[in-house]
Amino acid sequence: MTRDIPDIAVSRLPLYLRALGHLESNGQQITSSKELAAILGSSAAQIRKDLSHFGEFGKQGTGYHVAHLNRQLRRILHADLVWDVVLVGAGHLGNALLHNQGMARRGYRIVAAFDHDPEKVGTRIGNVIIQNNQRMRDEIQQRGIRLAIIAVPPPSARRVAHQLVEAGVKAILNYSPIALSVPDDVMVQYTDPVTHLQHMTYYLQDR
């Protein structure tokens, strides 16, 4: 991936990949930008434009070979690899993430989890034993982990992010509803259900 490809185009590739996965699982061999647009609520022109940043994957009048495009998008997103992930925060959300088998099936496996609560440290959740936060830096560096998930309360999120960056993490998925300050070479994605709910309730007419 080159730096001149718009990040918004990259962000839509996982959606296309998910749709292709459903089509392939149903035995479909050929699809089109029009069909993908109907599935995703997008536009065919947008899909063609996004894909054109990464190469030529289909032919006019023929469409896309589902399995081939699926493989190519997985390669572009490095989703054909298995990624080790570290989780910080073993509360209710962290517990749910540790039991989420869908992540592991798609190549993102949580191999280490940390918390500062003495009652949680040493307990096993799924296949992972919760460790003290003080072990975080050494564990990340020993394993060479570059992906992390933050699932801690907002007051702790920035401190945790700083520790993760110092340990060598280069990509953070932040569930805490607070903006993180990280170096330019560290990617951060935010997921906050309340933000999405507020977006939707704007459109609800009955109040």
Is there a single domain that holds both residue 117 and residue 168?
A: yes
Domain identity same for 72 and 108: no
Least confident of 77-81, 155-159, 190-194: 190-194
pLDDT grade for 197, boundaries at 50, 70 and 90: confident
> Is residue 203 situated within a structural domain?
no
Look up the domain containing 129 and give its range: 83-195
Identify the CA nearest to 62 among candidates 17, 108, 29: 29
* Same domain, yes or no: 15 and 65: yes
Query: Residue 1: pLDDT band by 50, 70, 90 thresholds?
Result: very low
Alpha-carbon span 39 to 42, nearest angstrom? 8
Residue 1 covered by a domain: no
Cα 185 → chain centroid:
17
- Average pLDDT (63-83) is 95
pLDDT digits (tens, 9 = 90+) for 24-47: 999 999 999 999 999 999 999 999
Name the domain count of the chain: 2
pLDDT, tens digit (0-9, with 9 covering 90-100), for 168-178: 999 999 999 99
> What would the mean pLDDT of 61-70 be, rounded to a whole number?
91
